[in-house]
Each structure stands twice: as structure tokens, then as C-alpha cells.
Amino acid sequence: MIQLTNRQARQFLLLKHGLLGEYKFSGKQGVLDFARQANCIQYDPIDVCGKNAELVLQSRIKGFTKGMLAELLYEDRRLVDYPDKNLSIIPVEDWPYFERYRQAARQHAERYPEMEALTAEVRTHIQNHGALSSKDIKLDGDFSWQSVIHWSGGNNSSRSVLEQMFSTGELIIHHKNGTRKYYDIATKYIKSNLLNASEPLEDELEHHKWRVLRRIGSVGLLWNRASDAWLNIWGLKAASRNEVFRQLLHEARIVAVTVEQMKDTLYCLSEDLPLIEAVLQNQEQNLRCELIAPLDNFIWDRKLINELFDFDYTWEIYTPAIKRKFGYYVLPLLYGESFIGRVEIIAERKSGTLVVKNIWYENDVEQTPQLQTALNSCFQKFALFNGCGEISPVYK
């Protein structure tokens, strides 16, 4: 059992994510390295000042550009879109471990016999014309479809058939144009040894252990209790989760961590013990100011963040406007070891202007010259990330 102070636990998480001190990840290789550490990066199509996955990466990767992620996904094919924690971006080598989800999607197709002829139309269209989106093909059908592996569904036959074929792994996302997804045949882009691999962990308990390890590694510290960090791990009820944690502890693949004034035990990966040791040495770290994505791995468990950082964050995008405390698309603001507030920020791309609409500081934040300098640097970097040449109001 490892004992940490609250500050040491915060430092561990921030260092694990490369959000404290010098940048841990750099350039395109850094994007791939972080994606492999995180195991999955949640995707969301809304683009107010960058899509969620891009926002996750811009806070950690020195010199990050949106093109780096697009290249790794759609040129190098080192990463791939597929549901994990909802629709996500995962390393392509993890593809076989989701075969049980694709098999479930194939079985799910039996509920929609009218899709069989329509999928044949899609195959022919792609063979003749290449990658396509739902607007490129008109499929006639009168049925309401719902994905078995993620949130997608509806009455648009073309979209439903493409999404169903994506769910089974027959199609992958070839590229995206804004929010629109273009699909192509998976065999063209994923190596056969991965694409055709059988389920590596057929036993459900072993699969759960693999998934839980990935989520702990993705966040850094997690507890054995209900959490949004476990989203979309099928069958992971309290009893099975308890057994997973018991076995992972027995196998020394995770380590129990107690934090002062916290009732619940936390857990980290055994491979992160050297980072724990580094934190215990109490080395000073350079302070950075970063804007954090609303669905960032770091804040997947909002209750944990509230307990460790005393920061209560709700993404209000789905909250009715009249009930919002802050705004439609507001990002947490991290400075050094603390969340110091939140920012509503909009990239107006036609004018090339980054609009800092509002900043709400936490009550105990002292707006020092040092903080202002760090904040200015953060906004300048964020403007560059969004391709904006101006910032309004002006931060220098």
C-alpha cells in the first residue's frame, strides 16, 4: 500500500499525463506515444475551438497540429476510429481485442434482414467509386436502426447501413470532412493479421481485466467504484469489478494507493511505480498553463477530480441554456498543479480570430503577473493550434 498526500497524488496524475513540467510528448511521434499510453482518446465531432481528441492532444504534445492526428489515423493507419469509451481513437494493434463487439454487431444485424441487400449495394458502390459518406449513396429502406455497440441510431437508411457495417468491422472510417465520416473497406487498410485475428481473451473475466487495466492506465489513478471511466465495458457490474480488482492486485499488475483525507482507495498501474517514486522525491516542476478538453482522459471521473483538486466541472453543452452556470462549450483551465478556472473560447475561423469570450476564476485564485504571463502564452499557443492569427481580447 502506497501512501500519498493530496498534492503528491495530483502531481502524479499531472506528470503521468504530461501536463506538469517540461513537455513529456513531442511532435507526431509524441501523439502516437500518448495514444498508446492513454489506450483510447474519446472522439466528439463538435468543433468550437478544436474537436475533443485534438484538444486532448494540444495540451500535452509539444508542437501539436491537427494534421498530425489526421495523418496517424488516415495515412499511416497507426490509429483507428472504433467504439471503446464511446466512439474513440485507439491504437490499431488493439483492434483484435474488440472482436467480441464486432461479433455482437454481426448478430445484431439479424434483427434487420432488410439490410442484407443494402450492404451489398454499399460494397458495389465502394468497389466502383471508392470511399463514401451517407450523402453519396441513397439506400431505400423503411426501418429504425440502433447500434448495439455505441450511441448511433435513427431512420436514415444510408447512414444506418454504413454505421452497421462499421460496427461489424467490415468498413472503417477512411477520413472525416468536418463532422461527416467517409467509409471504405477495412481490408484495404488494416493488416490481415490484425483484421482477421480471433478474440485474444475469450474469457469474459480476462477481457474485463484487460479493459480495466487500460482505463486505469488511461486516467492514471482510479478507484473501485462506479465511475464514468468504466463506460462501455459490457458486463462490468460491481461484483465482477470487485473480482477484477482482486485478481489484478494478486497478480501485482496494479498497486493500491491511499491519499490523505480520501475515504476510497485508489489504484495505479504497477508500471507507474517509478513515477510514484519520482513524485515522492518532491522535485520542483515548471508551471504550465493548459486548456483541458471537456472529455479529457484526465477528468473522466469528475468526482475524483473534485476530491483531489477541489474543482467541480460539468460540461454544459447538453444543459438547457437557461440552466447553464457558465456556457455552451467551456474548457477547464489548468495552471501548475491546480485548476484555476474555466474559459469559454471560440475559434472564428473565417476571420482568423480566437475569441476569449469569458474567464471564470476559482474563488481563491490570485491573478499574479506570473499567472497572466502563463495565461497569455497558453492563449497564443491555442490560437496557433486553431490557425488563428489574432486573439480577442488581445493577450500578449
Kindly report, residue by residue over 108-129, the tens digit of the pLDDT. 999 999 999 999 999 999 999 9
Average pLDDT over the chain reads 95
Using CA atoms, how far apart are residues 244 and 235, in angstroms rounded to an integer?
12
| C-alpha of 249 from chain center | 26
Dihedrals phi, psi of 363, to nearest 5 degrees: -60, -35
- Predicted confidence (pLDDT) at residue 367 exceeds the cutoff of 80: yes
| C-alpha of 210 from chain center | 18
For 49-107, how does the pLDDT look when each residue is reduced to its tens digit (9 = 90+)?
999 999 999 999 999 999 999 999 999 999 999 999 999 999 999 999 999 999 999 99
Contact (Cβ atoms closer than 8 angstroms) between residue 58 and residue 379: no
For 303-326, how does the pLDDT look when each residue is reduced to its tens digit (9 = 90+)?
999 999 999 999 999 999 999 999
Residue 394's pLDDT is what? Answer: 58
Classify 43 as helix, strand or coil.
coil
Dihedrals phi, psi of 83, to nearest 5 degrees: -60, 130
Neighbouring C-beta atoms of residue 46, cutoff 10 Å: 13
Q: What is the 3-state secondary structure (H, E, C) of 173-184?
A: EEEEECCEEEEE
Residue 395's pLDDT is what? Answer: 56
The confidence band for 150, taking pLDDT boundaries of 50, 70 and 90, is confident
Using CA atoms, how far apart are residues 20 and 285, in angstroms rounded to an integer?
7
- Predicted confidence (pLDDT) at residue 396 exceeds the cutoff of 80: no
Residue 386's pLDDT is what? Answer: 97
